[in-house]
Amino acid sequence: MGAMTAAGAGKCETAAEEKPLKYIVQNLERAYGVPENRWAGSDPLDMLVSVILSQATSDTNSRRTFAELKRRYPTWDGVLRARESSVAAAIKAGGLANQKARVIKNLLKEIKARHGSLDLSFVAGMSNEDAARYLSQFRGIGPKTVACTLLFACGKEVFPLDTHIFRVLRRVGLVPAKCSDARAHEMLNRIVPAGKFYSFHVNLIRHGRKICRPREPLCGRCPIVEYCDYGQTRI
Ligand code: SF4
């Protein structure tokens, strides 16, 4: 590890150690509830495609788009055989249809070429690290898509990061500004309390949408203000 990386890593860890994550998780659960993972045990390939379709659109739109894709092509083999333009037409309502159709078709082609079938159920039985490494091999599949698939469908304790979560954690002081995304991801995978990965992930997104908004966060109404560096400067 180079000197700069080592220094950055040290800062990430120090910041995390100074925050009582257990209480932050608890306060968020009191405010937003303990979310239930409705996707637990679902097919990892369905989840990968759902996460691809959820990019740059609302949850409602992405659910509708996935349902429409499944309606037109009940099997992934059907999507694999379809023209890219036809897949794009099926998922048009979710935006970025051509780009998403390309990523989905590439993904299906690569899985079929590797395994001869479109079945990723074996991923659930792999270790967190091996599963993440395996899914990251596919073109267009980034760390957030991998982590969401492993957490939601496979129930693995892997923490997905997105823009809402980064914003909240940076304001709180859990992730220093200079901590890289990869380092923050690795650090959170180590420090989020066992059994709380899903709850913390979902509640941070809720919190980022409702209270810790990009502009003018509502620090006066925030359930974790006592632990937040930025919030302490505002109340
Ligand atoms: S105190 Fe303010 S900045 Fe901190 S988490 Fe709450 S809303 Fe966000």
pLDDT digits over 115-173, tens only? 899 999 999 999 999 999 999 999 989 999 999 999 999 999 999 998 889 999 999 99
Domain boundaries, the chain: 3-36+159-232, 44-153
Among residues 19, 100, 105, 144, which one is catalytic? 144
Q: Let me know: does 197 contact 212? Beta carbons within 8 Å.
A: no
Residue pointed to by tokens 């400067």: 233
pLDDT digit string, tens, across residues 92-121: 999 999 999 999 999 999 999 998 999 999
Does domain 44-153 match CATH 3.40.50.10470?
no
- pLDDT at 182 > cutoff 90: no
Q: Which residues lie below 8 Å from residue 175, measured CB to CB, with a gap of 6+?
A: 12, 15, 16, 166, 169, 184, 187, 188
Q: Is 61 exposed, middle or buried (0-12, 13-18, 19+ CB in 10 A)?
A: middle
Q: Domain 3-36+159-232: which topology?
A: Endonuclease Iii, domain 2 (1.10.1670)
Under the banding of pLDDT at 50, 70 and 90, the label for residue 47 is: very high
Is 144 annotated in the active site? yes
Query: Which ligand 1 atom minimizes the distance to the CA of 167?
Result: 8
pLDDT at 7: 44
Protein residue closest via CA to atom 2 of ligand 1: 219
CA of 223 to the centre of ligand 1 (A): 8
Class of residue 115 by CB neighbours under 10 A (exposed 0-12, middle 13-18, buried 19+): exposed
Q: Tell me the pTM.
A: 0.87
CB-neighbour burial class of residue 24 (10 A; exposed 0-12, middle 13-18, buried 19+): buried
**Does residue 15 register a pLDDT over 80?**
no
